[in-house]
Amino acid sequence: MSGALKGLQGPTDKDLLVGFETSDDAAVYKISSEIAMINTVDFITPPVDDPYWFGQISAANSISDVYSMGGRPLTALNVVMFPSGHLDMGILREILMGGADKVVEAGACLVGGHTVDDNEPKYGLCVNGVVHPDRIITNAGAMPGDILILTKPLGSGVLFNAVRSGKFPYGELEKEVLPVLASLNKTAMETALRYELHACTDITGFGILGHALEMADGSSVGIAVEHRALPFYGGALDMYKKGETTGSNRANRALVGKFPFTLECSLGKAEEEILYDPQTSGGLLLSLPAEQGERLLQDLVAEDITAARIGEVFSGGKTALVVR
């Protein structure tokens, strides 16, 4: 879809600090020497049938874009598409309750929204936040010598599909996966901001390689991802081995294939496919100096956050993505 932006004239306002040119997570506009405004919007289709879980996960997914820019969410507007003639309005109420509870947890205010009738439920938030103009974190600041830390496991996309096809038990998804997906990236980012954080993005629909590629491209560096260090949800790799996949894997592979990409290790089909698995409300990918990484990992673990060192940044004249 990003190709649709080609040919559009970019904004020239000097106070627009972050626009769409680097595929960043949100836009940032300078209001004063002390305050910049963060704007983002996101909505998704239901990953699970439970409407309250759907509301929580979608809200956490939307709010994450403010955290990934180093900011604090202030207000949120509901974005709702709902088949009112086919589904009970009590379902919509549960979706909105899940979203509202997550907004409150984030310390923001739910101030309204917009609803349209549609054939399939969709829900998300337009979120506004603030950040100091000199402390914005983008996906374009990674530096050679940095290490990469990921703060949530991977593989939620294939697990959602596996539940629908009956290959994976919903009870296990609800116990082990949904609470992580519904958790805010607030604590992870607040912890990371104690260090010299160079770049950040959250891992969502493009998968780990797609979003690592965006960081490499925006930063004009190379990124090496260590496959053996990647954390996966229990059962995710096994689902790929059993033939399950997602509707986004092929497109995500095509995206990565447009850039210099090297696979230095020998991987089976399942091990390779999970690299393209689309995430919903995924973790943060953090880039910071190697000498600070171990202390940040310890701090994240102390906060009960699943965190792993998954790669490194290296210098190069062009974007490069390597899997080892």
**pLDDT reported for residue 7:** 66
The mean-pLDDT minimum among 62-66, 225-229, 300-304, 315-319 falls in 315-319
- Start-end of H helices in the chain: 51-68, 89-105, 156-164, 170-176, 178-182, 186-192, 207-219, 236-241, 249-257, 269-273, 290-302
pLDDT at residue 121 is higher than 90: yes
Q: What does pLDDT average to over the chain?
A: 94
**pLDDT reported for residue 109:** 98
**pLDDT reported for residue 259:** 86
pLDDT digits (tens, 9 = 90+) for 296-313: 999 999 999 999 999 999
Q: Which domains does the chain have, with CATH numbers?
A: 2-131 (3.30.1330.10), 146-323 (3.90.650.10)
Q: What is the 3-state secondary structure (H, E, C) of 143-158?
A: CCCEEEEECCCECHHH
Rounded mean pLDDT, 21-43: 92
Rounded mean pLDDT, 125-145: 96
pLDDT digits (tens, 9 = 90+) for 206-216: 999 999 999 99
**pLDDT reported for residue 116:** 95
pLDDT at residue 54 is higher than 80: yes
pLDDT digits (tens, 9 = 90+) for 248-275: 999 999 999 988 888 888 899 999 999 9
pLDDT digits (tens, 9 = 90+) for 195-240: 999 999 999 999 999 999 999 999 999 999 999 999 999 999 999 9
**pLDDT reported for residue 195:** 98
Cα within 13 Å of Cα(305), Cβ side: 27
The mean-pLDDT minimum among 273-287, 295-309, 310-324 falls in 310-324
Tokens 């940044």 — which residue?
A: 313
pLDDT digits (tens, 9 = 90+) for 154-168: 999 999 999 999 999
How far CA 303 is from CA of 59, 297, 300, in Å, comes to 22, 10, 5
Binned at pLDDT 50, 70 and 90, residue 22 comes out as confident
Q: Is the Cβ–Cβ distance between 111 and 77 less than 8 Å?
A: yes
pLDDT at residue 1 is higher than 60: no
Percent of the chain beyond pLDDT 90? 86
**pLDDT reported for residue 263:** 86
How far apart are alpha carbons 281 and 259 in whole angstroms?
25
**pLDDT reported for residue 3:** 63
Binned at pLDDT 50, 70 and 90, residue 2 comes out as low
Closest CA to 150 of 222, 233, 259: 233
pLDDT at residue 11 is higher than 80: no
- DSSP annotation of 293 reads H
